Amino acid sequence: MNRFVMAVTAAVLATGVAHAEVTEEMLLNDTATTGDVLTNGMGRHLQRYSPLDTLNKDNVKNLLPAWAFSLGGEKQRGQETQPLVHDGVMYITGSYSRMYAIDVKTGQELWQYDARLPEGILPCCDVVNRGAAIYGDNIYFGTLDARMVALNAKTGDVVWNKKIADYKAGYSYTAAPLVVRGLVITGNSGGEFGIVGEVQARDAETGDLVWTRPVIEGHMGTLNGEESTMTGELNATWPGDMWKTGGGATWLGGSYDADTDTLVFGAGNPAPWNSHLRNAGTPVDGNAGDNLYAASRIGIDPANGEIKWHFQTTPREGWDYDGVNEVVAYSDRSGNKRWATADRNGFFYVLNREDGKFVSAVPFVKDISWADGIDETGRPIFNEANRPGNPADAADGKKGEVVFASPSFLGGKNWMPMAHSPKTGLFYVPSNEWGMDIWNEPITYKKGAAYLGSGFTIKPNYEDHIGSLKAIDPDTGETKWEFKNDAPLWGGVMTTAGGLVFTGTPEGKFIAFDDETGEELWSFQTGSGVIGQPITWEQDGEQYVTVISGWGGAVPLWGGEVAKKVNYLNQGGLLWTFRLPAQLAAN
């Protein structure tokens, strides 16, 4: 058996859980319904905002632990999940592709599912999982061997188990799926192995593929088992056959905007990292060498997988500035429908929600060196002197010129989700101030082997901090306040109508800030690094907050000098739930 169930029937009966079926309407209204959390992002727009204000600036000091849940065993690496809450049950994923159902009142485990992972999986950046999706009677999540699993939400029994891609070629899966109108929509991971980024849509009941959309030019999409249309135009921006192993992993999942009926997925770095190899013989004027649609945000029709629009944040990408960071649907203070995204490349972008057209961009980290700015079309003004050198120009042909580039390849912001408050109009962006020595090397593609063509060492830019939580006004580009942290920030952010912003630190602190001033109002030491994603909900008239604690992720594995700075931090796997008692809400 590849799952393990503990006293399922007895536990479920004890809770009296009804397990009402989750509908498209419920997903659509997730933000407004405060008694549950049904979607990654607390709404498919990914704003991570709650309209609850029972817990507020005045009484957050009274927030108390209600219960804690241990993920158990020795699999305590990189806990990045966002919990879901439905009908008295909390669902979380854990490292090594595990799923748990927990009684939300008591913290008692109802059931657990452990994926049977094969030998030879190739996750690049730790064995993390970022969450699940719920729809109908099922709960869905992905595994490190690039599979999508549907479980019965009541019992944990497998309903279907489908292969996304070949893990032996370097594919994996770590993101929370997205459900739209009965389709389970996923991306893929593995950009360091010369894979091809793709978005897939499956029938939620059967797991059967409905459509696929590769995000690298030259590849064919499918619809109902037949070829549909080519992505882009063959060899328009890729030389020779390099598009066949072009990267662009869609590894962070997507968002959905019901107003425009648009999915938005980000595509990761092109492969290999060495941009000189990808553009050999290709002119660099215009956009001929841009390597579409890598390092881009892509608007997709959820009905058929056709691309509606794209915006490439880093054309001719050569620093591993993935374009996968979440794209948040919101309305600005003038009522204009906008998208916002804080890119790995260090710039915060605002796009028009109707067509993905560029509106504005500002730096959200300091010391950006690879570009001198963003022009009026949204295209970067490259600092070509800060592009890692071409190994072909080196005397030995083995190592190109080393440059110090900022931000580092782990980004001004990496995977960790920001939050938006319609109340303040601000975005709360977890960022890091670091750079890297980076150089290019010759490389050839080999299935299942790393396909970088680059070397690197990450270094802090400042002695007093690396992590920086910033409150950014998207209308003006102004940073309203900043919280500095010694270690890199790697966890998600949540904000509420009560005027609070929640996030955690690798040092283990879970913190509530004033959304207008950045003042620290409350904190709790969780015992391990917080790199998970907080949520809040209402139960029996009281407001609850949950976050998972468990240090890991990419920083300890890839962080160079930064990794040495935080090597004292302990791993863990503990889910903390906090409660504001009704009698203390008025204090």
Q: In this structure, what token pair is assigned to residue 329? A: 């649907």
Q: Do strands 520-525 and 133-135 pair parallel, antiparallel, or not at all (unpaired)?
A: unpaired
The DSSP symbol for 380 reads E
Please give the annotated binding residues, written as ranges: 80, 130, 174, 192, 269, 320, 414-415
For β-strands 494-496 and 49-50, DSSP reports them as parallel
Q: Is the CB of residue 315 less than 8 Å from the CB of residue 283?
A: no
Exposed / middle / buried, residue 151 (Cβ in 10 Å: 0-12, 13-18, 19+): buried
User: CB burial class (10 A; 0-12, 13-18, 19+) of residue 116?
Assistant: exposed
* Residue listed under structure tokens 């931090």: 569
Which active-site residues does the annotation give?
Answer: 320
Q: Name the β-bridge partners of 347.
A: 363
CB 515 within 8 A of CB 534: no
Is the Cα torsion angle 446, 452, 455, 459 positive or negative in sign?
Answer: negative
Task: Give binding residues for pyrroloquinoline quinone as ranges.
Answer: 80, 130, 174, 414-415
Residues facing 86 on adjacent strands: 89
| CA geometry: angle 241, 324, 510, nearest 5 deg | 150
d(CA 530, CA 533): 8
Return binding residues for Ca(2+).
Answer: 192, 269, 320
Per-position b or e across 63-74, b if 16+ CB within 10 A of its CB? beebbebebeee
DSSP state of 242: G
What one-character-per-residue DSSP string does 27-87 give? Answer: HHTTTT-TT-B-STTSSTT---EE---SS-TTTGGG-EEEEEEE--SS--S----B-EEET
Nearest partner of 55 among 513, 470, 497, judged by Cα: 497
C-alpha to C-alpha distances, 499 to 147, 152, 211, nearest whole angstrom? 40, 37, 42
